[in-house]
């Protein structure tokens, strides 16, 4: 599941992410603000981009929206998965990219006219009826029904138009040649049916015990690959919020006040559950389908079961579910259907709706008015939120006080003793290395690499609590000595012996054409795989070196085994059973589309490089403490 979610997160190109970001920043249902961040008038900027800022509230809302969207596709999504996917960091990066481009658009003097905005609004099918704009009152009603303020919606559209303009200007000079398009077409469309054998060194026994002289000789021959990265050590004081929570009491009056002040957080909007019978038609059979829809409507009016008829006659993806589109999925229907749905009473079945290519019969199976969850139902969640807030506030206050004392004494260890807190050494850490039970995200070790020696950090918020660290030692990157990496050298030495034996074994097994490779795998404890359609660059299980593999697959004569080639875990051999090749005539028929696809990819790559350079030039400042504090606030609510 995690692999599928990673694919989902990365499925949109950078440009599309940026355009989407323009909407998610401003179009959202109110869900409660970012805790108390910024309420006291302090620094509420998560990111400073020149004169532009991303506030804690904006980041909170965008992160919430993205996580909620993913939870609809992946109900099992939990806090641990969110952390493993690095969703908070990815979302913040997308927001930064969007602001960079909007800032650039302003520098270029780009503007959005009222006419451009109107054309954008009118272009949305949901705001059209019979190919015409539905009118301002209906347009406003649709936005109100979805809890979207009209000003925010139109501001988001202006941002999208601006982004489109600046993207077009930036990428106007990007071009691709016909030969590049041909190579791309070949890579995408030439395929091969292959089978391969993989032998892993892990399960291959080696009864050899090298002496120290052999290991030292191996080390000297491969010395360049044994490097010790820079490591840093610090003195650390850390307060866990879970420990503080045990000492905190939240009163009923505080819970009631929170409930009143954040009442929108506990509102659930009105919902309609919809079922549909969907009958498609072409011009020759249109009249027949219309008559069929009328007959179905008559049967429904006489009391026949809607879901049963949907299973038999409906032609959309929910037919097998009795035509049940639930509370939300139906909102992707046409504007005509949505208008009919909003006028239905509970249990009412619509007249057949002619969409011009299909007939739709709709039923409102349930209608739920907007409700506000009662206090009793959300009391435990509020209590947890308040405990988390108070614990973090207390930890933050103690750390601020400790930091002031440590700056005077120039010793975090002495300051901690004075305040009755325990300090500890972090041990040597690489940048971003987690500290078990204290900082699973690596914020603390990353901070060590931003400090000068003896320098004290500001309070650092992690998922587990609040910390303060002072850099005490830097161990620069250096060539490893034999003693430092002796165990690794031994493992590498034995692994090379194993690989050499594996290579010899594979080479000796594959020359008998009469024996199937599947049988060879069974008899020799090897992995056998068969791929019906392999393309260049395609990931294959157990083989990491796709470049070498593709060179073999698209050059070997059919049915001829390759020589063994190295993989991360051992060696592999491949054989091509069939191969589908393309020619210039095939390419000519789709040349324009292929060129456009490749051009879009080239624009994406150019834009990515441009934004990386823009980031450096703008000297973006990220308030990592506030970022983690807001992230923790939202993730805490999800956990609650």
Q: Answer yes or no: is pLDDT of 298 > 50.
A: yes
pLDDT in tens, 80-91: 778 777 788 888
What pLDDT score does 638 carry?
Answer: 63
What is d(CA 533, CA 543) in angstroms, rounded to the nearest whole number? 16
Tokens of 629: 């504090």
The b/e string for 515-534 (b: 16+ C-beta within 10 A; e otherwise) is eebeebbeeeebbbbebeeb
> CB of 18 within 8 A of CB of 94?
yes
CATH number of 2-173+613-639: 1.10.4030.10
What pLDDT score does 144 carry?
Answer: 76
3-class state of residue 229 by DSSP: coil
Kindly report whether the global pTM for this prediction surpasses the value 0.75: no
Of 17, 5, 125, 15, the closest CA to residue 70 belongs to: 5
| Residue 375 binned pLDDT confidence (cut-offs 50, 70, 90) | very high
pLDDT in tens, 560-575: 999 999 888 889 999 9
| Residue 16 binned pLDDT confidence (cut-offs 50, 70, 90) | very low
What is d(CA 324, CA 365) in angstroms, rounded to the nearest whole number? 9
State the virtual CA torsion across 482, 486, 488, 489 in degrees, nearest 10: 70
3-class state of residue 372 by DSSP: strand
What is d(CA 83, CA 67) in angstroms, rounded to the nearest whole number? 12
| Residue 274 binned pLDDT confidence (cut-offs 50, 70, 90) | very high
Of 8-17, 47-56, 620-629, which one has max mean pLDDT?
Answer: 47-56
What pLDDT score does 189 carry?
Answer: 87
At the second CATH level, the architecture of 191-227+484-580 is: Roll (3.10)
Q: Answer yes or no: is pLDDT of 19 > 60.
A: no
Torsion sign, CA atoms 318, 320, 322, 328? negative
Helices (H), 134-199: 136-145, 150-170, 178-189
- Name the average pLDDT for the chain: 84
| Mean pLDDT for the stretch of residues 636-640 | 60
> CB of 591 within 8 A of CB of 230?
no
If one compares 155 and 86, the residue with the highest pLDDT of the two is 155
What is d(CA 623, CA 43) in angstroms, rounded to the nearest whole number? 9
Percent of the chain residues past pLDDT 70, beyond the cut:
92
What is d(CA 106, CA 50) in angstroms, rounded to the nearest whole number? 12
What pLDDT score does 27 carry?
Answer: 35
pLDDT in tens, 99-127: 888 888 888 889 989 888 888 888 887 78
Q: Where in the chain is the domain with CATH 1.10.4030.10?
A: 2-173+613-639
Residues found in the chain:
640
Three-class HEC string of 564-615: CEECCCEEEEEEEEEEECCCHHHHHHHHHHHHHHHHHHHHHHHHHHHHHHHH
Cα–Cα separations (whole angstroms), residue 133 to 117, 119, 357, 599: 13, 10, 21, 34
What pLDDT score does 20 carry?
Answer: 38
pLDDT in tens, 400-413: 999 999 999 999 99
Of 595, 583, 486, 29, the closest CA to residue 271 belongs to: 29
Q: How far apart are the first and last CA of the chain?
A: 23
Q: What are the residues whose beta carbons fall under 8 Å from the beta carbon of 278, sequence distance 6 or more?
A: 314, 315, 316, 319, 323, 358, 359, 360, 361
pLDDT in tens, 486-520: 999 999 999 888 888 888 888 888 877 778 899 99
Tokens of 262: 């954040």
Give DSSP secondary structure letters for 480-548: PPTTTTHHHHHHHHHHHHHHHHHHHHHHHHS--TTS-HHHHHHHHT-EEEEEEEE-TT--BTTB--HHH
Q: Answer yes or no: is pLDDT of 40 > 60.
A: no
> CB of 624 within 8 A of CB of 368?
no
CATH number of 231-254+375-476: 3.10.50
Which has the minimum average pLDDT: 353-357, 384-388, 630-634? 630-634
CATH of 271-368, one of 2.40.180.10, 3.60.21.10, 3.10.50.40, 3.40.50.11270: 3.10.50.40
Q: 567 forms bridges with which residues in the sheet? A: none
Q: What are the residues whose beta carbons fall under 8 Å from the beta carbon of 179, sequence distance 6 or more?
A: none
| Mean pLDDT for the stretch of residues 261-267 | 81
E strand or H helix that includes residue 301: helix 286-301
pLDDT in tens, 430-452: 998 999 888 888 889 999 998 99
| Mean pLDDT for the stretch of residues 571-594 | 90
pLDDT in tens, 517-557: 999 989 888 899 999 988 888 888 778 778 888 899 999 99
Q: Where in the chain is the domain with CATH 3.10.50.40?
A: 271-368
Q: Answer yes or no: is pLDDT of 31 > 70.
A: no
| Residue 11 binned pLDDT confidence (cut-offs 50, 70, 90) | very low
Q: Answer yes or no: is pLDDT of 472 > 90.
A: yes
| Residue 639 binned pLDDT confidence (cut-offs 50, 70, 90) | low
| Mean pLDDT for the stretch of residues 140-167 | 84
Three-class HEC string of 32-85: CCCCCCCCCCCCCEEEEECCEEEEHHHHHHHHHHHHHHHHHHCCCCCHHHHHHH
């Amino acid at each position: 599941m995690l692999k599928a979610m990673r694919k989902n997160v990365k499925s949109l190109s950078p440009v599309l992410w940026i355009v989407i970001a323009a909407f998610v920043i401003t179009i959202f249902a109110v869900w409660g603000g970012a805790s108390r961040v910024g309420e006291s008038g302090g620094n509420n900027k998560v990111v400073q981009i020149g004169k532009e800022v991303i506030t804690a509230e904006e980041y909170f809302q965008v992160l919430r929206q993205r996580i909620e969207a993913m939870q609809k596709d992946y109900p099992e999504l939990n806090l641990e998965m969110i952390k493993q996917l690095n969703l908070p960091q990815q979302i913040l990066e997308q927001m930064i990219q969007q602001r960079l481009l909007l800032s650039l658009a302003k520098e270029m003097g780009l503007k959005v006219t009222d006419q451009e905005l109107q054309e954008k609004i009118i272009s949305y099918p949901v705001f059209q009826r019979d190919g015409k704009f539905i009118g301002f009152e209906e347009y406003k009603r649709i936005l109100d029904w979805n809890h979207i303020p009209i000003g925010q919606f139109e501001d988001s559209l202006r941002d999208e138009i601006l982004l489109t303009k600046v993207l077009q200007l930036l990428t106007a000079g990007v071009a691709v040649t016909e030969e590049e398009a041909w190579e791309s077409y070949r890579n995408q469309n030439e395929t091969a049916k292959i089978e391969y054998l993989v032998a892993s060194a892990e399960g291959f026994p080696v009864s050899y015990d090298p002496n120290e002289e052999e290991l030292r000789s191996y080390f000297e021959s491969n010395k360049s690959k044994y490097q010790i990265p820079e490591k840093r050590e610090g003195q650390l004081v850390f307060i866990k919020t879970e420990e503080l929570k045990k000492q905190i009491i939240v009163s009923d009056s505080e819970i009631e006040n929170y409930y009143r002040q954040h009442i929108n957080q506990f509102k659930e909007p009105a919902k309609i559950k919809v079922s549909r019978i969907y009958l498609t038609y072409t011009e020759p059979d249109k009249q027949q389908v219309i008559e069929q829809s009328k007959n179905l409507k008559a049967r429904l009016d006489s009391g026949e079961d809607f879901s049963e008829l949907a299973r038999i006659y409906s032609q959309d993806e929910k037919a097998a579910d009795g035509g049940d589109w639930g509370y939300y999925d139906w909102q992707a229907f046409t504007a005509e259907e949505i208008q009919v749905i909003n006028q239905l009473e509970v249990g009412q079945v619509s007249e057949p709706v002619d969409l011009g290519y299909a007939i739709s019969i709709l039923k409102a199976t349930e209608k739920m008015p907007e409700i506000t969850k009662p206090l009793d139902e959300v009391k435990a969640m509020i209590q947890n939120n308040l405990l988390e807030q108070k614990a973090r506030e207390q930890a933050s206050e103690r750390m601020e006080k400790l930091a002031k004392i440590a700056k005077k004494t120039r010793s975090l260890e002495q300051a901690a003793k004075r305040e009755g807190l325990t300090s500890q050494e972090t041990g040597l850490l690489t940048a971003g290395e987690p500290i078990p039970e204290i900082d699973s995200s690596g914020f603390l070790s990353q901070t060590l690499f931003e400090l000068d020696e003896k320098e004290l950090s500001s309070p650092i918020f992690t998922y587990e609590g609040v910390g303060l660290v002072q850099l005490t030692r830097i161990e620069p990157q250096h060539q490893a000595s034999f003693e430092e990496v002796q165990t690794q050298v031994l493992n590498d030495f034995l692994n090379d012996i194993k690989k050499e034996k594996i290579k010899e074994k594979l080479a000796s097994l594959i020359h008998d054409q009469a024996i199937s490779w599947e049988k060879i795998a069974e008899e020799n404890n090897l992995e056998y795989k068969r791929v019906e359609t392999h393309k260049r660059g395609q990931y294959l299980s157990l083989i990491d070196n796709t470049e070498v593999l593709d060179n073999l697959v698209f050059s070997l004569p059919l049915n001829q085994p390759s020589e063994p080639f190295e993989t991360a875990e051992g060696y592999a051999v491949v054989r091509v059973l069939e191969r589908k090749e393309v020619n210039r005539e095939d390419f000519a028929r789709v040349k324009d589309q292929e060129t456009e696809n490749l051009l879009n990819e080239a624009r994406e790559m150019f834009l990515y490089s441009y934004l990386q350079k823009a980031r450096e030039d703008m000297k973006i400042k990220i308030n990592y403490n506030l970022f983690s504090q807001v992230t923790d606030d939202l993730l805490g609510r999800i956990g609650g």
